[in-house]
């Protein structure tokens, strides 16, 4: 009986060419596994394509709800954003995919897991750290790093290889953007984006919505509710998290929300330029933050900001299945106990404009915040506070003056 390998299968040219290559190079039985994180129509026709290419079996595993609840929401609650812009769409999905690949590998008694990530990108790290953490005994095969036996260097090479092995599929040689899509976002790399001095061709590039210039001239009000940091409804209609993100994607795309052009620092040491479309995610992150402004105290917000930045780095680097991620998430969960309330905002040409936020746990006190004197605040108390708060500055200034005086004698 042949040994089995589980291939992370997208249905694209790369992973299609990998199927006969695995059989020819290692004499494996190839089990394809496509993980559905909300790619939509990209999954159409995969079963036939995988079988035609020589796979003995194809799993299509829908993990959309798990992806939303167990991976996206912890990052939303934390406010995790990499390098101030990237909302971690690909980064969050990779550990979820790795976990499912390991489950299928265990079910099939496979000895190896294969992925089609390149040797220059972040995804190879994210997949392999996830597999190492969950199944250290399973071998990982990364064809693009095995240049002694993987000799294909272009789409033309792969198409020719497939044809030589009786696989004649409608793959073209035309260049296009390199994209990754799931429910949370779409990333775009390549073509004019390869040069940072080039403006993105948004008319050609965008898939989830329009640019702000082409958004409607009329703004649209949206109301969301949250319970303990989790979104529960849009405009009064209760929905599960995945449906909320779908609806926000629709609304955000319509109004040109969540388009980010970034030159980011990859884990492997190089900079890369890409455009991310995250319409629903951008709205959800902003709405959650607006509610937190009301209910979190200053000291907690300061530490939480640091924890959010740290979590973004941890997730970006593929270290999801680590004690550090668990510890950060545990801290964040405590901060979400009272993040409950309603957020209203207006979407208008790429902007999310506040229109009112309420919470039963709001720490905002009108008597304290107003310019008139309230019962809880005596203006005279500020004098003593400033004296003590500024004491280190005053002592330092006095000491410097004393030293200068002595030096001038």
Q: Please report the domains of the chain, with CATH numbers, ordered by start residue.
A: 4-80+87-164 (3.40.50.620), 182-296+339-358 (3.90.1260.10), 374-407 (no CATH)
The tokens for 279 are 């319409």
Distance CA 279, CA 246 (A): 10
Distance CA 366, CA 61 (A): 51
Residues 6+ apart with CB under 8 A from 250: 280
Q: Are 376 and 367 in contact (CB under 8 A)?
A: yes
Q: Are 245 and 281 in contact (CB under 8 A)?
A: yes
Q: At what angle do helices 123-134 and 89-108 cross, to 10 degrees?
A: 40
Residue 372 clears pLDDT 90, i.e. is over it: no
Distance CA 47, CA 51 (A): 6
Distance CA 247, CA 78 (A): 22
Q: Are 294 and 363 in contact (CB under 8 A)?
A: yes
Distance CA 341, CA 362 (A): 9
Distances (CA, A) of 111 to 30, 138, 179: 11, 6, 30
pLDDT at 371: 63
pLDDT at 104: 98
The whole-number average pLDDT for the span 45-61 is 92
pLDDT at 373: 58
Residue percentage of the chain with pLDDT more than 70: 97
Beta-carbon count within 10 A of 387 CB? 10
Backbone angles phi, psi at 63, to 5 degrees: -120, 25
Residue 175 clears pLDDT 90, i.e. is over it: no
Backbone angles phi, psi at 345, to 5 degrees: -155, 165
Task: Give the residue, 172 or 324, on which the prediction is more confident.
Answer: 324
Residue percentage of the chain with pLDDT more than 90: 87
Under the banding of pLDDT at 50, 70 and 90, the label for residue 377 is confident
- State the Rg of the chain over Cα: 26
pLDDT at 374: 63
The whole-number average pLDDT for the span 156-182 is 86
Task: Give the residue, 368 or 74, on which the prediction is more confident.
Answer: 74
Task: Put residue 406 in one of left, alpha, beta given phi > 0 → left and psi -120 to 50 → alpha.
Answer: alpha
pLDDT at 170: 73
The whole-number average pLDDT for the span 292-319 is 98
Q: Are 219 and 353 in contact (CB under 8 A)?
A: yes
The model carries a pTM of 0.94
Known catalytic residues? 14, 94, 123, 178
The whole-number average pLDDT for the span 57-62 is 96
pLDDT at 367: 66
Model confidence pLDDT, tens digit, residues 178-207: 999 999 999 999 999 999 999 999 999 999
- Residues 43, 48, 52, 57: is their CA dihedral positive or negative? positive
Lowest mean pLDDT among 142-151, 210-219, 365-374: 365-374
Distance CA 401, CA 24 (A): 81
The mean pLDDT value of the chain amounts to 95
Under the banding of pLDDT at 50, 70 and 90, the label for residue 369 is low
Under the banding of pLDDT at 50, 70 and 90, the label for residue 380 is confident
The whole-number average pLDDT for the span 117-122 is 94
pLDDT at 213: 97
pLDDT at 169: 78
The whole-number average pLDDT for the span 300-307 is 98
The whole-number average pLDDT for the span 259-288 is 97
The whole-number average pLDDT for the span 365-377 is 68
């Amino acid at each position: 009986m042949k040994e089995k390998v589980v291939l992370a299968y997208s249905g694209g040219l790369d992973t299609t060419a990998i199927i006969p290559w695995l059989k020819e190079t290692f004499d494996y039985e190839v089990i394809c596994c496509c993980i559905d994180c909300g790619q939509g129509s990209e999954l159409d026709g995969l079963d036939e394509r995988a079988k035609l290419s020589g796979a003995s079996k194809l799993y299509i595993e829908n993990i959309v709800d798990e992806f939303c609840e167990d991976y996206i929401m912890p990052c939303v609650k934390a406010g995790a954003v990499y390098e101030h812009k990237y909302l971690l769409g690909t980064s969050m999905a990779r550990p979820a995919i790795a976990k499912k690949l390991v489950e299928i590998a265990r079910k099939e008694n496979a000895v190896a897991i294969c992925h089609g990530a390149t040797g220059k990108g972040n995804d190879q790290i994210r997949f392999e750290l996830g597999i190492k953490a969950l199944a250290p005994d399973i071998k990982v095969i990364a064809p693009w790093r095995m240049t002694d036996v993987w000799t294909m260097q272009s789409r033309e090479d792969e198409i020719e290889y497939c044809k030589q092995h009786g696989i004649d599929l409608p793959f073209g040689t035309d260049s296009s953007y390199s994209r990754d899509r799931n429910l949370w976002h779409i990333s775009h790399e390549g073509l004019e984006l390869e040069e940072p001095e080039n403006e993105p061709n948004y008319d050609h590039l965008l898939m989830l919505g329009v640019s702000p210039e082409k958004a409607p001239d009329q703004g649209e009000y949206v109301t969301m509710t949250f319970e303990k940091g989790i979104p529960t409804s849009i405009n009064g209609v209760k929905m599960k998290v995945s449906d909320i993100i779908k609806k926000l994607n629709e609304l955000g795309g319509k109004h040109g929300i969540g388009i980010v052009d970034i030159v980011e620092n990859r884990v492997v040491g190089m900079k890369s330029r890409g455009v991310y479309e995250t319409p629903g995610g951008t709205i959800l992150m902003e709405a959650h933050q607006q509610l937190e402004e009301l209910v979190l105290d200053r000291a907690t917000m300061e530490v939480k900001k640091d924890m959010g930045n740290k979590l973004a780095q941890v997730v970006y680097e593929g270290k999801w299945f680590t004690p550090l991620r668990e510890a950060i998430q545990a801290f964040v969960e405590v901060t979400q106990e009272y993040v409950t309330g309603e957020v209203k905002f207006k979407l208008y040409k790429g902007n999310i404009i506040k229109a009112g936020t309420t919470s039963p746990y709001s720490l905002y006190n009108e008597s304290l915040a107003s310019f008139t004197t309230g019962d809880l605040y005596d203006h005279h108390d500020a004098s003593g506070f400033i004296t003590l708060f500024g004491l280190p500055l005053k002592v330092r200034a006095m000491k410097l003056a004393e030293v200068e005086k002595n030096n001038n004698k």
